[in-house]
Amino acid sequence: MQMSRTASLMLVDMDEFCAEAEAEESHLVELERERLNMQQRRVASAALLEEMAKITEYADPSHTVMLQGFNWESHKAGKGNWYGIVESKVDMLADVGITDIWLPPPSQSVAPQGYLPSQLFNLDASAYGKKAALKSLLKSLHAKGMRGVADIVINHRCGDKQDEQGRWNVFTSTGIESRKSFHGIMDWQGWAITLGDQFSDGTGERGPGHLDGKFDAAPDIDHGNKKVQSSIAIWLRWLRLDIGFDAWRFDFVKGYGAEYVGHYCKKSEPSWAVGELWLDMEYDHDGLKYNQDKHRQDTVNWINGTDKESTAFDFTTKGILQEAVRNTQYWRLKDSNGKPPGLLGWMPTHAVTFLDNHDTGSTQGHWPFPNDKVLVGYAYILTHPGIPCIFWDHICDWGEDMRNRIKALLQLRRRAGIKVDDKVQILCADHDLYIAEIGSPPALRVALGPKHSGVDGSWSPGTEGADYRVWIRASAAA
């Protein structure tokens, strides 16, 4: 079969491109060293678990609390300067106890929310604000000892132009003209898109994604292509070392292989990373099944597939927890082995727990946590192991009382020294009452549900609200 002109040129240029990419990465390594020396932001003195040691600059596990710093409508609310709105709240968020802020996709996008990116290096065409405003926000976060988490959308990419056949599979490097060494890095064509893609007739390998991971709204990227890998790795390092991001949130990871997330983490060395692996849970005629081990096993398999370079959002815990609080079925919060039933019960060091995000909640509301039980949900995830993530709406849009109650829970978590891998001893998981003690030895005690529970004199009152009560060990409270 005759080789196309595009494919032939790609083979000729590949060695030259890879050499340029290697030189650029060496340059970025030097920038990284300078940045680390300047900021002197090192890992806290707390000893890291063996499996956490793979994640460069992992935060002190007792302190990591992420905020999703936007919702589905933030591109409108910000009126072109959402970054400025977030920056104006940095002092307040630091006071509440937030350590990391997950920011929206920063690149130019066909859709204003940022999830249909095209020109990845173009940060001045984002509906959330200009590149200068983003860098100012990240600088303010760093001044408070906080970190910025970039939303990395690399399952798919929208073309800038049509080819001779009218297919949208011509991609450009717009936005990086100021860096000569970057010229052409993001100039892709059909070879960068998975084979047979319905929108662009891609010529790359067929996508290796997870289960139902095909994305129908835009051309799917062929991550098996070495030029694609080098391009994305350089872009990620640029986001870290030039723009100032610290960590990654990988969008729609069921669309491509977990090994590529691991590869990109190793190449770009974020402080940490988290993947959005949103899979369907198991239901029957009675509703959500009690046993969701397959669901969380799929997540564990994905994490292992990244070589444990990335954590994952704990969708298993979200699904079970919201069912438990909505229907007063607190028996769901203990699995058959007496442990928490979500990812945090099996792999807490890599479980990012949450109640809602811009997809499940906000104005989309695809799978919302019950509004009247949000504080019960936070009483669970903010007292338990794992890495908790708080939604913007709950802490910034729902009023001062809600914010103060979340802050009280976070203060107890820190005072008790709860770590990402702490032991959970479940004392009760009945229809209307859940009781657990967290820590080694136990430092927090939490009770959820309408039924009340007493404590002995070794516990001091912490905080409480409708259907939740938290105590702290008296010795820790002193």
* Candidate from 19-23, 94-98, 272-276 with smallest mean pLDDT: 19-23
Q: Which residues contact 417 (CB under 8 A, 6 or more apart)?
A: 62, 439, 443, 476
Rounded to 10 deg, the angle between the 293-305 and 315-326 helix axes is 160
Examine residue 104 and say whether the peptide bond preceding it is cis (omega within 30 degrees of 0): no
**pLDDT reported for residue 54:** 39
- pLDDT for 370 equals 99
pLDDT higher for 472 or 15? 472
Looking at the chain, the whole-number percentage of residues with pLDDT higher than 90 is 75
Name the CATH superfamily for 12-421: Glycosidases (3.20.20.80)
**Mean pLDDT across the stretch 389-395?**
99
Q: Does 416 or 215 have the greater pLDDT score? A: 416
Which pLDDT value is given to residue 217?
A: 78
* Residue 38's pLDDT band (cuts 50, 70, 90): very low
Look at residue 54 and give its three-state secondary structure: coil
Q: Of residues 100, 151, 246, 251, which has the active-site annotation?
A: 251
Picking from 380, 314, 319, the residue whose alpha carbon sits closest to that of residue 346 is 314
DSSP state of 396: I
- How far is it, in rounded angstroms, from Cα 112 to Cα 119? 13
Give me the residues paired with residue 288 across strands: 283
CB 438 within 8 A of CB 446: yes
Average pLDDT, the chain: 88
| DSSP 8-state symbol, 193 | B
Q: What is the pLDDT of residue 111?
A: 97
Domain boundaries, the chain: 12-421
The verdict on whether 251 is a catalytic residue reads: yes
* Whether residue 45 has pLDDT greater than 70: no
pLDDT at 173: 82
Entry pTM: 0.89
* Residue 284: Cβ within 10 Å count: 8
- SS3 label, residue 361: coil
Smallest CA-to-CA distance from 151 within 251, 78, 246, 265 is with 251
The one catalytic residue among 20, 151, 160, 276? 276
- pLDDT tens figures, 173-190: 877 655 555 768 899 998
The verdict on whether 276 is a catalytic residue reads yes
Residue 301 pLDDT: 98
Residue 411 has pLDDT above 80, yes or no: yes
User: How would residue 26 be classed by pLDDT, with cut points 50, 70 and 90?
Assistant: low
